[in-house]
Amino acid sequence: MNPTDMLYTKEHEWVKIEGTVATMGITEYAQSALGDIVFVEQPEEGTDLAVGDECIQLESAKAAASVYSSVVGVVCAGNEALEDAPELVNTDPYGEGWMVKIEIEVAPEGLMDAAAYEAYLATCE
Amino acid sequence: MLRRTKPVRTAAERILMAKRTCLHDIHVELGGRIVDFAGWDLPVQFEGILAEHTHTREHVSLFDTGHMGQLLISGPGVGEQLAAALSQDAVKLPVGRAKYGFLLTEAGTIIDDTILKRLGEDEFFLVVNAATAAIDAKTLRARLSDDIEIVVLASWGKLDVQGPEALDVLQPITEIDLTTMGYFGVCRTQVLGHDCILSRTGYTGELGWEIYMSQATLPEVCRALLESPNVKPAGLGARDSLRLEMGYALYGHELSQDVTPVDAAMEFFFDAERDFVGATALRTQISDGTNGKLVMIDSAQRRRFNTGDTILSDGEEIGIVTSGVFGPSLGRVIGMGFVRPEFTQVGTELTIATARAEITATVGQMPLYKDGTCRKKLS
C-alpha cells in the first residue's frame, strides 16, 4: 500500500527523490494515527535544514505534531494547497497531501524502501 | 520525525484505573479509539472527529456518557432542601422540567455543575460529572436531612442521541410522544420497551435527548438506533468541538473549585438574592467584582491554542486559556479562557502565546455557532 517509488523513515514520513529535489510528506499510518489534520504550517523557502530539524508543524483535531527533516538541504517549496485544505493530508497522503520540497545537498542516508517500511510497520501495530 | 505529543498511560495504569461503560464492547466493535477520560475508557473518535462533528450537526450521533453520575434524590420536602443545597431553585422547578446549575462551597466556588430534573413532587434526578460524582453525593448527603434518600444509580448507563434528525430515529422506539417535550423537558418513559428516564438536553447545541437506563438494556437500545443509516457513533473529540462552538463550559477546564459561577460569567443561571450554599459569597462578588471572567475566544485562523496558554494584551499577561479546539462548523480555531474583567467586551483583541507561535484572537459572542437546533419547537 505504500508506494514503491518512495523512501520512508521510522517516524512515518515519506521522501520522494527526483533529481536533486526531495518531496516529503507523512505516510498513511501517520495520517491515520493523527486523525483529521486541520492545520499545516507552511515552511519558509530558503530555510537550511539538517537531518532532524523541524520543518513543518501539524495540528490534527486531537493532537499536535511536527515533521522533522530526513534530508540535508534547503526548502524550495511548501504545499500552499494545504493552507485551505489541510485534509488533503488525510485523503491523499502520498499525492496532493505532500508537505515540503527540499533541494538536497547531501545524498540521503538511513531511509527504508517500501518493503522495509512495511516490515517495520508490522512491528508498530 | 513525526512525534505525537499527547501523553499516553502505561499498561499498568490502564489495567489499574480503567472503568468501562456498558457500551464499551460496541465502541470496540465499531472501531472506536479508546482513551482515558476521568478514569474511564471511552472512545475519542470512530471515523474521525471532523466527520463525527459534521454528522451531528447534519444528522444524528450517539454519545456514550455512561461515565457521568446519576443521583435519584427523594423524600418529603426534598424540594426545599435541594433549593438550599444547590443554586437551582428546586421549589420553583416544575415537575417534568430540568435546570442547569451548581453545587457550591460556602465560598461560592464550584464543586460541580449539574442538571437538576424534577420527576415528581418529592423526587428529583441530578446528573453530575464523572470525576466529581463521589464528592457530590457526599456533599449532598451532608446537606440533606436523614429522611431524604440519595440513590446513586451505579448500574445505569447513559446515551445521548444528538442531531437535527434525533426525533426521527428515537420516536419509533419511544413510548411517549416526543414532540410534547420542550427543551429541558424530562420524563419517565420506555424506549424499546425498557424503563428509562428521558430528558431533552444535551451538550452539542443540536436537537436531542439523553437516555438514562439500566446497563442491562441500554446496549440493546444503542444497537437498535445504530440500525438507522442516519445514526453514527461519535466520540469525545466531537463532543468537545461541538460544546465549544456553543460555548458550554466543561468541569475540569472552565469550571473547578478555584472559580465561582460569577467568575464563569454565568450569573444568568441563578438568582443570587435567593439563599443557598455559596449565595452570600456570590452576592459579594457581584457587588465587588471579580479578578477574572470567562470569555469565548474566537480566532480567524486554524492554528490551535491550548489549555494553559497565556493570553496577552499589548504584551501584558491578562489571562489564561481553558480550552482550545478547531471548530469544524466554523472553520477556525475557537476556545474559552479567563481574562481580567476589563478585557471581556466582545470584539476585544487578544494575543495568545502558544508554545509554537503568537496567535491573534478576539473575545467572541456566545454561542459562536448560531444554527444549533436544540431549542427547535416540535409541536
**CA closest to A62 among chain B residues:** B237
ipTM here: 0.73
Residues of chain A in contact with residue B306, where contact means CB-CB under 8 angstroms, are 64
Chain A residues within 8 Å of chain B (Cβ atoms): 9, 11-13, 26, 30, 33-36, 38-39, 41, 52, 57, 59, 61-68, 70, 86-87, 90
- Shortest CB distance from A36 goes to which of B4, B49, B304? B49
Within-domain flag for A114: no
pLDDT for position B38:
86
Taking the C-alpha atoms of residue B69 and residue B114, their distance in angstroms, rounded to an integer, is 10
Within-domain flag for A125: no
Domain ranges of chain B: 246-364
Count the domains in chain A.
1
**Domain range spanning residue A45?**
7-108
List, in order, residues 6 or more apart from B22 with CB less than 8 Å away.
B66, B157, B215, B216, B218, B219
Taking the C-alpha atoms of residue A92 and residue B247, their distance in angstroms, rounded to an integer, is 34
- Shortest CB distance from A62 goes to which of B49, B51, B303? B49
CA-closest candidate to residue B214, choices B23, B36, B26, B41:
B23
Interchain pair B5, A35: CB under 8 A: no
pLDDT for position B169:
98
Interchain pair B2, A63: CB under 8 A: no
**CA closest to A57 among chain B residues:** B356
Interchain pair A66, B51: CB under 8 A: no
pLDDT for position B6:
45
From first to last of its 379 residues, what are the pLDDT tens digits of chain B? 354 444 445 555 555 567 999 999 999 999 999 998 988 999 999 999 999 999 999 999 999 999 999 999 999 999 999 999 999 999 999 999 999 999 999 999 999 999 999 999 999 999 999 999 999 999 999 999 999 999 999 999 999 999 999 999 999 999 999 999 999 999 999 999 999 999 999 999 999 999 999 999 999 999 999 999 999 999 999 999 999 999 999 999 999 999 999 999 999 999 999 999 999 999 999 999 999 999 999 999 999 999 999 999 999 999 999 999 999 999 999 999 999 999 999 999 999 999 889 999 999 999 999 999 999 999 8
**CA closest to B4 among chain A residues:** A65
The three three-digit cell numbers of residue B66, written as one number: 455512561
CATH of the domain at A75: 2.40.50.100
Q: How many CA atoms lie within 13 A of B279 on its CB side?
A: 17
Q: Which class for A4: exposed (0-12), middle (13-18), buried (19 or more C-beta within 10 A)?
A: exposed
Chain B residues within 8 Å of chain A (Cβ atoms): 1-6, 44-45, 48-51, 237, 241, 302-304, 306, 325-326, 328, 333, 356
Interchain pair B328, A9: CB under 8 A: no
Interchain pair A63, B49: CB under 8 A: no
- CATH of B246-364, picked from 2.40.30.110, 3.40.50.300, 2.60.34.10, 3.40.50.11140, is 2.40.30.110
Taking the C-alpha atoms of residue A56 and residue A99, their distance in angstroms, rounded to an integer, is 8
Interchain pair B6, A35: CB under 8 A: no
Q: What is the DSSP letter of B192?
A: T
Interchain pair A66, B1: CB under 8 A: yes
